[in-house]
Amino acid sequence: MLTRVSLAVVFIGIGVWEILQPGYWSAFIPRSFPGIVPIDTLIIVHGMVLLVIGIAVLAGAYLRVASLLAVFMMLAIIVVVTMQSGFTDITIRDTAIAILAAALFFDDTKYMRLRD
């Protein structure tokens, strides 16, 4: 439960922040990104995806799918940030979040039964 709530808080919080203040996050978009879609629009859509994943994790709806999506989202972020800035404290933080999402994906305690 703590894993679920922790991951949900991060994804919901960042998702809302990206939706409300996309300009803050534009610095994280690689300069080589093709300008097919306005950067603010891209960030808002990314924020909506994070928000949906966070809500699904919190609600426990499609938990394995949501946590796997969270892992892939975090891995994509790690790759982009590392390519742009190298190995930094942000990389370490995002790796920890990816591990938290993976732990939730692989958590099978709800399927285990204690036997007398």
Considering the chain, what is the average pLDDT of its residues? 89
| 111/9 Cα distance (integer angstroms) | 25
Residue 53, number of CB atoms within 10 A of its CB: 25
Residue 83, number of CB atoms within 10 A of its CB: 10
User: 71 vs 48, 64, 105, 115, CA distance in Å?
Assistant: 16, 11, 9, 33
| 98/109 Cα distance (integer angstroms) | 20
- What's the confidence (pLDDT) of residue 114? 42
CB 3 within 8 A of CB 49: no
pTM summary value: 0.85
Q: Could you tell me which residue, 67 or 110, shows the higher pLDDT?
A: 67
The full DSSP string for 24-87 is: HHGGGS-TT--TTS-HHHHHHHHHHHHHHHHHHHHHTTTHHHHHHHHHHHHHHHHHHHHHHH-S
**pLDDT tens per residue across span 18-44:** 999 999 998 888 777 777 888 999 999
